[in-house]
Chains A and B, each alone.
Chain A
Amino acid sequence: MTEIEKRQDRAPVVPSAFEYATAPESREIVRLEERYGLFIGGEWVEPRSGELQPTISPATEEELAEVSYAGPEDVGLAVDSAREAFDNGWSSIAPSERAKYLFRIARILQERSREFAVLESLDGGKPIRESRDVDLPLAAAHFFYYAGWADKLEYAFPNRKPRPLGVAGQIIPWNFPLLMLAWKIAPALAAGNTVVLKPAETTPLTALLFCDVVRQAELPPGVVNIVTGDGRAGAELVKHPGVDKVAFTGSTDVGKEIQRAVAGTDKRLTLELGGKAANIIFDDAPLDQAVEGIINGIYFNPGHVCCAGSRLLVQESIYEQVIAKLKRRMGTLRVGDPLDKNTDVGAINSKEQLEKITELVAAGEEEGAEIYQPPCRLPEKGWWFAPTVFTNVAQSYRIAQEEIFGPVLSVLTFRTPDEAVEKANNTPYGLSAGVWTEKGSRILAMAQRLRAGVIWANTYNRFDPASPFGGYKESGFGREGGLHGLEPYSRFE
């Protein structure tokens, strides 16, 4: 056992006469296939590669289904099918017709949202409270939003004539599987492109269920193709000459590889990569709500969020008060079964991710930061990590510099707004930031000076399809969402 595991084992669980009932969402609603093929040209096809791998529920280590791993030949077929669909209709049908399909998909997602939410929690380990209240409503909202743009593109770009690019190759991460699919597919289709999408290897199931939605909406075959697999399939997709546009959301390391791979081609590229966001609490902030914001910033989807508020910057004059409130609040977080409606913090997505978190946390302790974890009993099976906060963190520590992508918060202090800006910007990343203050002028001044794509004021991790999202520096380039999100999928005459 590691030091941390020992500590968690010893932690007492506070008894109480006033306990929450387990309120599990039923799995009945989800019908899983034993094995899934690839979705190419509107049909399920057997992978030419012949490779199948299990997909596992991180909360129980249960094998949910077998999923195909696409090889080069499979990716080629998918791209060809997308090209054919693009040439034979999708790029030239009336834009109002494209809009109808997208509206239809949005409505079907709403109708089947319970089914999708349960499957998302099952395959990815995130609490049902989040998949039900955040992922699904947002995914549907994204399709609704871009459906509205589909027949108004010429108004979106005044005096410019937008034309579709062709085939978009899209690679998405495992933290918001269906939502990232919606972020990618909705604008691409609205602008008249066809897509080949590769879901993450640990969370392919909602993307595969989405194929059912595509069929239900009677989308022309080949407009949406889903190829499952690991990094090899992604690499094939990126380098395939038939792909006109690559969109990737994931780690900075892979993003760099992709950028190298498309260098020298005429492929368009957008990258949405890692982050190490500063969540800045000024001494006039509404403290109890700021603490909720800190919790939501880092323990939402157990920190598996590229824009997570993983560096807490607290003004020194309120430091002790904030930490006391934070620790108390952490004690009420409920870690456990993702399908339980009372659960706040779910499972870690994969064994690899758990190892990475454990390694970085150990590094934090070694470097001299002070660790705190509330007493909580973690389930025996599956991959779990208790909500963690590090105090006494120096800017130079790895836990203050590297993206942990887990429920681990590093706390630093500042004395003046200038120092807050300096520390917040002192990172290779620049995806998001949070500012908590009662002072409107200070919010605007901070937003001007923080080098981050998204800045939340007195809230955190709030998303809307109308609002563009993307990063500075090593957090990537290009924007998704809003009007900005259409541009990477269009060329202009």
Chain B
Amino acid sequence: MAQAPALPGGFELPLEPRLPRIGSVDQVAVEERAASLARRSIKRESKLFALDLAVRMIDLTTLEGADTPGKIAALCSKAMRPDPADLTVPPVAAVCIYPNLVPIALERVRGSGVRVASVATAFPSGQSPLEIKVEEAARVVELGADEIDMVIDRGAFLAGEYARVYDEVRRVKEVCGDAHLKVILETGELGTYDNVRRASLLAIAGGADFIKTSTGKVQPAATLPVTLVMLEAIRDVYEETGRKIGMKPAGGIRHAKQAVQYLVLLHETLGPEWLTPELFRFGASSLLNDVLLQIRKEKTGRYQSPDYFTID
């Protein structure tokens, strides 16, 4: 009798006993499904709800070598009050920055509810010794970051060393304490949807609170089909174990229309329960202003010039 495919080498780990079978993904079908959901149109009232939700889900990001205290200060102001002309627009979920800038950001956003997320573990490549990566994560937590965005070691993953990938996630999770752990798979480097699914389950087994598509440094970054594959992995884990994992597509989401498509995908795959910043984030920088533009349009019926929205 046919059996489910054997676990690949190195997969014989202390995985959660009730994690779903690894399974596989059919490329043609998953892309077709994602494309058909992208053609849905949502109600006008739902649109405002969706846009407002999108703002609350944004991890406003700057990850440049040129980031300075001044840049971070501006980003934090924008995060706390995205549209100074319309105070009903909520703050975003978090700012996402490099470790050295965490203290400055913390000081700026204190009391606002905006969280501080920092990348860690030799972002963006992850190609450094494990001890250093764990140490980096520990230091970022010490500095007070609320959320840690770690990268998996794609080199190890593609070499088939799944146990190493799993161990790294587990070690980082151990030092995270109360901080939320987002695990970046860098799907643009994984090559197949099967790998995306496998890496998602590995990260979740290792203790990820969120799984995240991309660093933003590699093309392609987030796409609808990749996100669908990851959401389906999350759904399988939820149905099997009851554990709720969050999802963060990052990179390449620039327009409000795209954000709404992601929310439609999320709603169809995981249902209304997941429509919260606790379980879904957008990693983006330029998306915010387009969403603000659309919110203003929904409220006033007119499009404003982009000059009326601050560039920070």
* Partner-B contacts on A (CB < 8 A): 16-21, 23, 129, 282-290, 292-293, 315, 317, 324, 332, 341-342, 415-417, 438, 442, 458-459
- Nearest B-chain residue to A344, judged by Cβ: B36
B26, CB-defined interface residue at 8 Å:
yes
Q: Name which of A284, A342, A417 has the most chain B CB atoms within 10 A of its CB.
A: A284
Closest Cβ–Cβ distance, residue B103 to chain A (whole Å): 38
B305, CB-defined interface residue at 8 Å:
no
Name the segment of B40-48, B72-80, B251-259 touching the other chain.
B40-48
A20: B residues at CB distance < 8 A? 40-43, 46
**Beyond A19-B46, A293-B29, A458-B26, is A284–B263 a contact (Cβ under 8 Å)?**
no
- Inter-chain contact B43/A286, CB cutoff 8 Å: no
- Inter-chain contact A18/B26, CB cutoff 8 Å: no
- Inter-chain contact A19/B43, CB cutoff 8 Å: yes
B66, CB-defined interface residue at 8 Å:
no
The contact sample of 7 A-B pairs, CB cut-off 8 A, is A16-B272, A17-B46, A18-B272, A20-B43, A286-B29, A289-B29, A438-B5
**Beyond A18-B267, A18-B272, A282-B2, is A289–B33 a contact (Cβ under 8 Å)?**
yes
Complex-state Cα separation, A21 to B4, whole angstroms: 41
- Nearest A-chain residue to B39, judged by Cβ: A341
- Inter-chain contact A21/B25, CB cutoff 8 Å: no
A288: B residues at CB distance < 8 A? 25, 30, 232
B239, CB-defined interface residue at 8 Å:
yes
- Nearest B-chain residue to A334, judged by Cβ: B40
B88: A residues at CB distance < 8 A? none
B23, CB-defined interface residue at 8 Å:
yes
Known contacts A20-B46, A292-B29, A317-B4, then 12 further A-B pairs from the complex at CB < 8 Å, ordered by chain A residue:
A16-B267, A18-B49, A20-B42, A21-B44, A23-B41, A284-B2, A288-B232, A332-B268, A342-B41, A415-B1, A458-B28, A459-B29
Complex-state Cα separation, A215 to B250, whole angstroms: 54
B128, CB-defined interface residue at 8 Å:
no
Q: Name which of B3, B23, B42, B267 has the most chain A CB atoms within 10 A of its CB.
A: B23
A16: B residues at CB distance < 8 A? 267, 272
- Inter-chain contact A19/B42, CB cutoff 8 Å: yes
Complex-state Cα separation, A284 to B1, whole angstroms: 12
A417: B residues at CB distance < 8 A? 2
- Inter-chain contact A21/B46, CB cutoff 8 Å: yes
- Nearest B-chain residue to A17, judged by Cβ: B49
- Nearest A-chain residue to B28, judged by Cβ: A459
B239: A residues at CB distance < 8 A? 324
- Nearest B-chain residue to A316, judged by Cβ: B1
B275, CB-defined interface residue at 8 Å:
yes
- Inter-chain contact B275/A18, CB cutoff 8 Å: yes
- Nearest B-chain residue to A462, judged by Cβ: B28
**Which of A284, A286, A289 is close to B4, meaning CB atoms less than 8 Å apart?**
A284
Complex-state Cα separation, A23 to B264, whole angstroms: 15
Closest Cβ–Cβ distance, residue B46 to chain A (whole Å): 5
- Inter-chain contact B46/A438, CB cutoff 8 Å: no
A342: B residues at CB distance < 8 A? 40-41
Complex-state Cα separation, A43 to B46, whole angstroms: 51
Complex-state Cα separation, A137 to B24, whole angstroms: 31
**Which of B24, B28, B39, B43 is close to A438, meaning CB atoms less than 8 Å apart?**
B24
B50, CB-defined interface residue at 8 Å:
yes
B44: A residues at CB distance < 8 A? 21
- Inter-chain contact B5/A458, CB cutoff 8 Å: no
- Inter-chain contact A18/B24, CB cutoff 8 Å: no
B43: A residues at CB distance < 8 A? 19-21
A17: B residues at CB distance < 8 A? 46, 49, 272, 275
- Nearest B-chain residue to A340, judged by Cβ: B41
**Beyond A286-B25, A289-B26, is A18–B2 a contact (Cβ under 8 Å)?**
no
Complex-state Cα separation, A285 to B5, whole angstroms: 10
Closest Cβ–Cβ distance, residue A334 to chain B (whole Å): 9
A459: B residues at CB distance < 8 A? 28-29
One digit per residue, 1 when the CB lies within 8 angstroms of any chain A CB and 0 when it does not, for chain B 270-300 equals 0010010000000000000000000000000
Complex-state Cα separation, A438 to B29, whole angstroms: 13
Closest Cβ–Cβ distance, residue A114 to chain B (whole Å): 15
- Inter-chain contact A286/B272, CB cutoff 8 Å: no
Give 6 closest A-B pairs by Cβ, nearest first.
A289-B29, A289-B26, A21-B43, A286-B26, A23-B41, A286-B24
Complex-state Cα separation, A290 to B24, whole angstroms: 10
B3: A residues at CB distance < 8 A? 283-284
- Inter-chain contact A21/B42, CB cutoff 8 Å: yes
Q: Which of B45-102 contact A (CB under 8 A)?
A: 45-46, 49-50
Closest Cβ–Cβ distance, residue B117 to chain A (whole Å): 26
A287: B residues at CB distance < 8 A? 23
